[in-house]
Amino acid sequence: MTSIAITGGTLVDASGERFGDLLITGDRIAAIGSFEIPATAEIIDATGLNVAPGLVDLGVFAVERAACATGGITRIALMPDQSPPLDDSGLVQRAALAAKPYLWVHPLAAATRDLAGIELAELAMMQKSGAKAVATGRTWIADSGTMRRVLSYAGSLGMTVIVHAEDGGLTGNAVATAGETATRHGFTAAPAIAEAMAIARDILLAEETGAAIHFRQVTTAAGFERIKRAKSRGAKVTCGVTPAHLLLSDIAVSDFRTFARLSPPLRSEDDRQATSTALADGTIDVLCSGHDPRGPEAKRLPFADAEPGMAGAETLLTLGLGLVRDELITLPRLMALLSDAPSRILGVDAGHLETGAPADLCLFDLNAPWQIRGSKFKSFAGNTPFDGLPVQGRAVRTIKGGRTIS
């Protein structure tokens, strides 16, 4: 069986940082720390690099193995918003196999048929076919009775329900957050409280049914306050955020920049700062890319007509390292956000550096300078709101199941 020894690097995962070597045999980590390197082993010199678990990106909309490899991502949780939606066991099974052997794809089962929010999908069958969690898709489920049944059904199966938190009755066809920027540009806007409204209802239903719920992207002070209270009560509630909502406010949509049109939309500066506070105090559990590549036909349109979404897989790690450099979080905390916590939510064995764990790794250079250029992305689309931004830090090698992938 082939062995690979990674030497000279700094090992980092959610448990901390330490110096040591790492030995891979087959598709598993065979040893960590100090050990005798087999004479036949391939040696990877990681001097000056960090060796971390492969990133687990929770909630992406497209399977793009090259983009993921470039960003250090070894696993994705695929949203059910596909064509057709992942509301059938056969579709889930096919999606799970879509990128083997280069990328782990964990499909998220559609909570309702066609993601229409009316009739429950057959969650048990999809779980047997490989679905690791349940998701409501790009929107919330308006009918509270249906949402309660989804939570009850998923909870009985031990599956987390991943939700989009915006009250659709308030957001309607809005394309921006209500405020000075939206008013100045004439955008159709919705109040940010739409997020907290949805979170409040879904937390109550989750607590009542005992189900685990994950809010995929939370972006407002009012939303975080409700999640913090629920956690203090012991509710099975987690939440995530993207680097865009941490680093950008609604001012980024000025000049009608469609690459900054996201869902949920970029918020006010006060809410952006509340998001940073929630990351620092531990309220936020997951940092995800929100990877949703959109081509020119979807973005080269008037702002109100453009589709929301960004290509985030190739910048997730880099922008996360910027949060460490700004001393908002530590490097082990970043690894918890990027790999350990999403693995726990999905219930997969990943996100940690331990003997016997899967050999899914990301080797990255903390200090490598480069400039984000969407036109150079491996993704089929380069719709990043960070286009042109100078950054530091990037993945230099991604290993999945003991083999380097690209």
Domain spanning 54-351+370-389, CATH class: alpha beta
Domain boundaries, the chain: 54-351+370-389
CB within 8 A of 402, min separation 6: which ones? 2, 4, 24, 25, 26, 27, 28, 359
Q: Which are the contacts of 191, defined by CB distance < 8 A and separation ≥ 6?
A: 170, 177, 178
- Report the pLDDT value the prediction gives residue 402, as an integer from 0 to 100: 95
Distances (CA, A) of 372 to 137, 253, 390: 28, 18, 6
CB atoms within 10 A of CB 43: 13
C-alpha–C-alpha distance, residues 49 and 393, integer Å: 10
pTM: 0.96
197, 170 in Cβ contact below 8 A? yes
The string of pLDDT tens digits covering residues 1-56 is 789 999 999 999 999 999 999 999 999 999 999 899 999 999 999 999 999 999 99
CA distance 372 to 322: 13
Q: What is the pLDDT of residue 37?
A: 93
Judge contact between 402 and 359, C-beta under 8 A.
yes
Distance CA 116, CA 136 (A): 9
- Structural contact between residues 374 and 49, judged by C-beta atoms closer than 8 angstroms: no
Q: How far apart are CA 361 and CA 6, in angstroms?
A: 11
Give exposure, 258-270, as e/b (b: 16+ Cβ within 10 Å): bbbbbbbbbbbee
Low-confidence ranges of the chain (pLDDT < 70): none
> What pLDDT is attached to residue 286?
98
pLDDT in tens, 111-122: 999 999 999 999
Three-state DSSP class for 12? strand
- The predicted pLDDT at position 34 comes to 86
The enclosing H or E element of 5 equals strand 3-7
For residue range 75-95, list pLDDT tens digits in order: 999 999 999 999 999 999 999
Tokens describing residue 119: 């009739």
Neighbours of 50 (CB within 10 A): 21
Number of H helices, E strands in the chain: 14, 20
3-state secondary structure of 297: helix
Tell me how many degrees the CA angle 250-251-254 measures, rounded to the nearest 5: 110
Burial of 306 (0-12, 13-18, 19+ CB in 10 A): buried
